[in-house]
Chain A
Amino acid sequence: MDDILKKSIQTIFIDNEVKDSEISKSAFKNAGSIPIIYGDFSSLEPSDFKKDCVYLLKYRGRFYKNCPGTKFYNCCGYKILHIGEGCPLNCSYCILKAYFTHNTIKVWANLNDLFSELEEIFNTNRFFRIGTGEFTDSLALESLTNYSSYLIEFLSQFRNVVLELKTKVVDLSWTDVVKDPRLVLPAWSLNAIDIPIKEEIYTAPLEERLNAAERCADMGFRVCLHFDPIIYYPDWERGYSKTIEMIFDYLKPADIAYLSLGSFRGMPHLFKFIEENWPESDYIYHGEFIKGIDGKLRLFRPIRIKQFRFMVNLLRKYGVDKQIYFCMESDEVWKATLGYTPRDLGGLANHLLRLSFAPFQ
């Protein structure tokens, strides 16, 4: 199992209800020295669990969900496959830490229920761009659960579904089961060169992420890159320039299916959470934050635009253009930085769907 996991996970709990699932069997095989406890934990509260544990259980809700983007800003229309919640990577700005006030990482282990639900949804003529990286990192637990491998094997029967795996770790074990690399989009979150060391404790270094992206490109995959959250701190221009330059040491513009930019934002309690738990994370003090129309704190618009423009200009210089989009931004910001709005692209969700399926056209 991955070294990062060994450091961050203390115990694995497996509900009796899912002890025979493929996910639980993988966990049993891969856990190494991490103790596994079987039992009926359904009546327990998250706070009853030990700190830093993984809990495999049956999920009783719908696995396929819309992204919880608000109507006030342009959402990319990402469809979520809800495979679990929580993340072992411990990034200071992570919104999940503020939402889930416990350190239990939940993995929905009832794969059969997930697959039955998806079979019903995907057996149509429609096209889907789906991803597992909304409430967890898509691959952070892969070396324990092999979740993405099972999912990819299952989804390979559908030619109308592209799966995005969004991560900050390097785990390419899932590539072994891919039949058609056009149907999987490995995606790495990136940040300014200074940020991972300070704010993303257990993640892979940027060079390793980009090296993995290059290996994927060599295997015939196109990759996605996400600059989210873009952080405002002294010397941010240098920090983001370095990372953008580095991208093109590893990738060609054509290797990138799409690339998102999202400014750091969050509900006020996220800022309080960072202040209390990450006293060295001073980026929350550098920005001039306003309460946006969705109630979240975000950088003052002219400063956001300045950062976006800087990055867009640099990315365009390297040949990435129509692949760029903003995560949760207003038409005003789109127009001021890219020169057009999602409507000009026929809607952001449609645009990204077209980009996802571009190799088939």
Chain B
Amino acid sequence: MVNFGKLINVPKDKIQSNGSWLFSKLISERLNIEPFKKKTLYPIIVEEKQDYFDLIFGYEVLQSISDPYVPVIIADMDDLYKGLINLEFIDSEFKNSGKIIVCARYFDKVLSKGNREKEFFGIFDTILNKKEISNLLEWVSLPEDFDDILINENVSIDVVEDLKKFSYDEIVYIIPFFQNIKWGKNKSKIFLELLYKLKKRDKVNVKTILTPISHLLEKDLSPNDKIQNILNYLRDNCFPNIRSLEKEFMVRVFNLTDKKRIKITHSNGFELDEIYLEVTLDDSYTIKELIEDLKNKSSEWDEFYTWYKSKLNTE
């Protein structure tokens, strides 16, 4: 329901900006950043209350006005429309990120429970694709405490596809791993997949799995190194045989060749007996030198290949 009234000038200090539909303001507050100021032609819309005006729309414009009196449109609209008008003009940077969860939370409270899902799709379908809306819906079913990792863009909203497999009690232990580190989409997915596999395989709770690596979060490492260490630990536990062979392969290759000149790789997943050599030749390293090197190390090569084949045929 929407009714627009007259355009009048009102004292700026009589306008209150506390509505939970003022998404840009809320996001700025959550991020602890200065709100955007927009000197645009957007109108300021307010609802007239007994002794003040409640801001419906135009927070950024209001911030840019220094005059004591501001021109506003008096309007009367329900909570759904207050949200819709603010969503329509929300900054594009907010639209295309996890910050949109602030809007989703608002609509989740405003929408009628019966038609919630359908109406949710109707509201967001011009901004997000179907999968993104589904993920947003999934996310709003999680407690609001978890929203910060989305708003700060430490993870993408897609993470909910894997996060939803865990119970609330388990997510509580997972969230700290996302709190101060920015995770790429793939890595956060791998993290949760490995965690889930271990939980199901060993029939243990998430706390038991994560406790031995929680100290990594406090370590003086770059975020990338932290992520790498976390994933390595989980991979070592999920795939002990593969990881052990990978490590031994790398050590043996390192001892066998000058990495700059000859690169040795194995078949995908160690499926085949084949190993692959990629050689870089130039003026400083010629084919003649390569042949000489290979000849000199032929027994080591034989030993390496014999070792390799035997490892593939025994656990």
Give A residues with C-beta under 8 Å from B.
282, 285-286, 288, 290-293, 300-303, 305-306, 330, 332, 336
Distance from B247 Cβ to chain A, minimum over Cβ atoms (Å): 14
Contact of A288 among B198, B241, B267, B272 (CB under 8 A): B241
Which residues of B are found within 8 Å of A286, using beta-carbon distances? 201
| CB 8 Å contact bits of B192-205 with A (1 = contact, 0 = none) | 00000110110000
Q: Given A288-B238, A303-B241, is A293 in contact with B268 using a C-beta cutoff of 8 Å?
A: yes
- Whether, in the assembled complex, B273 has its beta carbon less than 8 Å from a beta carbon of chain A, the answer is yes
Which residues of A are found within 8 Å of B120, using beta-carbon distances? none
Distance from B38 Cβ to chain A, minimum over Cβ atoms (Å): 45
- B241 & A285 in contact (Cβ 8 Å cutoff): no
Contact of B312 among A288, A292, A302 (CB under 8 A): A302
User: Number of B interface residues, CB 8 Å?
Assistant: 22
Q: How far is the CA of A130 from the CA of B312 in the complex (A)?
A: 35
**Beyond A282-B201, A293-B268, A302-B313, 12 extra complex contacts between A and B, CB < 8 Å:** A285-B201, A288-B240, A290-B269, A291-B269, A292-B271, A300-B270, A301-B269, A302-B241, A302-B245, A302-B311, A332-B272, A336-B312
Give B residues with C-beta under 8 Å from A.
197-198, 200-201, 238-242, 245, 267-273, 311-315
Which residues of A are found within 8 Å of B314, using beta-carbon distances? 302, 305-306
- A332 & B273 in contact (Cβ 8 Å cutoff): yes
Contact of B241 among A300, A330, A332, A336 (CB under 8 A): A300
Which residues of B are found within 8 Å of A290, using beta-carbon distances? 242, 268-271
Distance from B310 Cβ to chain A, minimum over Cβ atoms (Å): 10
Q: Given A288-B240, A306-B315, is A301 in contact with B271 using a C-beta cutoff of 8 Å?
A: yes
Q: How far is the CA of A301 from the CA of B271 in the complex (A)?
A: 6
Which residues of A are found within 8 Å of B201, using beta-carbon distances? 282, 285-286
Residue on A with the closest CB to B270? A301
- A292 & B313 in contact (Cβ 8 Å cutoff): no
Q: How far is the CA of A186 from the CA of B242 in the complex (A)?
A: 39
- B315 & A303 in contact (Cβ 8 Å cutoff): yes
Q: How far is the CA of A293 from the CA of B268 in the complex (A)?
A: 7
Residue on B with the closest CB to A290? B269
- B272 & A336 in contact (Cβ 8 Å cutoff): no
Most buried by B among A285, A301, A305, A330: A301
Which residues of B are found within 8 Å of A291, using beta-carbon distances? 268-269
Q: How far is the CA of A290 from the CA of B243 in the complex (A)?
A: 12
Distance from A338 Cβ to chain B, minimum over Cβ atoms (Å): 12
- B269 & A300 in contact (Cβ 8 Å cutoff): yes
Q: List 11 A-B contacts (CB under 8 A).
A: A282-B201, A285-B201, A290-B269, A292-B268, A293-B272, A301-B269, A301-B271, A301-B313, A302-B314, A305-B314, A306-B314
Q: Given A286-B201, A290-B268, A300-B269, is A336 in contact with B313 using a C-beta cutoff of 8 Å?
A: yes
Most buried by A among B239, B313, B314: B313
Which residues of B are found within 8 Å of A292, using beta-carbon distances? 268-269, 271
Q: How far is the CA of A302 from the CA of B311 in the complex (A)?
A: 7
- B267 & A293 in contact (Cβ 8 Å cutoff): yes
Q: How far is the CA of A292 from the CA of B242 in the complex (A)?
A: 14
Which residues of A are found within 8 Å of B311, using beta-carbon distances? 302
Which residues of B are found within 8 Å of A285, using beta-carbon distances? 197-198, 200-201
Give 3 closest A-B pairs by Cβ, nearest first.
Answer: A290-B269, A285-B201, A336-B313
Distance from A302 Cβ to chain B, minimum over Cβ atoms (Å): 5
Q: How far is the CA of A71 from the CA of B280 in the complex (A)?
A: 32
Q: How far is the CA of A290 from the CA of B198 in the complex (A)?
A: 16
